Every structure is written in C-alpha cells, then in structure tokens.
C-alpha cells in the first residue's frame, strides 16, 4: 500500500508538471515508465494522427510525446480525480489542444489507465479520449 501511495504522489506530480509546462516538459513521464511498457493510444495510427502509435519502449513513448507536441499546442490539462486499486491507477480529467497547422481546438474528456510493477514503474498505459474531435481539429 505504501508503494502505491508513492506511485500516486509521483503520478500526481507528473500530471501537475505536464499541465504547468503545457506539454513542453516530457521528462517526468519518461522517468515513470519501464522499458517494455504496453503504451496504447485510442487513435492508434488513424489518418491525421500518425504519431499516435502503440509503444513498447521509452524511446517510442518519447517519439509519441514529440509527435503530439509538434502537431498540437496544449491549451490546458486538468485532472478531476485519481482512482486507485492494487497496481492500477485511473486518471479522469479533461484536456484541450490546438492543432498548430489548422488552428482548430480539440477539447475532450480524457481517461488514462496506468498499471505499475512492484518497483513503481509503469508497465502499462492506455489513454482514452474523443478521437473524432482530435481528427476534426487535424483536418484543414
């Protein structure tokens, strides 16, 4: 239980930094994850979102984050609550990003599901958001 409390504290700090830096600081995410992570994005390679691929390494996750922030500028990211059970944390919130090319905003509810190993490293991350809204913001 104490290990998960530490995980939750580190995870909350990472979400706070993500929002504060408007997505520019990515290192806090990379420090949380284990190499070999099962990292999945709901958009997974939809047309117009080529960077949203499933990842299984820290370098691939870095590529995902770089692709996201190259294509979109964060307007805001908020967390409404954290739900924890055993090795899993569910993060419920909302985010809005503006496409750098089109100027269109994608505002969406967001749910992230994290799973951690006994060392406190994330071994799985799955994110859920409004892909139709994200695709619409990507269209000219």
pLDDT band for 132, please (50, 70, 90 cuts).
confident
- Residue 18 Cα to chain centre, angstroms: 9
Q: Per-residue pLDDT for 123 more than 90?
A: yes
Domains identified in the chain, total number: 1
| Residue 44 confidence (pLDDT) | 74
- Tokens 């047309």 locate to 47
Q: Which helix (H) or strand (E) holds 98?
A: strand 88-99
CATH of the domain at 55: 3.10.450.50
Higher per-residue pLDDT: 61 or 5:
61
Mean pLDDT for the chain?
Answer: 92
- CA–CA separation, 107 vs 94, rounded Å? 8
Please answer whether residues 86 and 57 qualify as being in contact, where contact means their C-beta atoms are separated by less than 8 angstroms. Answer: no
Pairing status of strand 122-129 against strand 33-41: parallel
Q: Per-residue pLDDT for 47 more than 80?
A: no
Per the structure, the complete domain to which residue 50 belongs is given by 2-138
């Amino acid at each position: 239980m104490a290990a998960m409390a530490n995980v939750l504290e580190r995870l909350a700090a990472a979400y706070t930094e993500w929002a504060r830096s408007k997505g520019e600081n990515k290192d806090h995410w990379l420090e949380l994850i284990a190499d070999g992570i099962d990292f999945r994005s709901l958009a997974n390679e939809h047309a117009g979102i080529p960077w949203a691929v499933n990842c299984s390494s820290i370098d691939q996750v870095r590529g995902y984050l770089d692709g996201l922030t190259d294509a979109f500028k964060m307007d805001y990211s908020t967390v409404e609550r954290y739900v924890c059970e055993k090795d899993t944390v569910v993060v419920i919130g909302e985010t809005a990003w503006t496409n750098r090319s089109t100027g269109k905003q994608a505002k969406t509810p967001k749910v992230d599901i994290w799973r951690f190993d006994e060392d406190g490293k994330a071994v799985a991350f799955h994110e859920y958001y409004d892909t139709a809204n994200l695709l619409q913001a990507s269209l000219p």
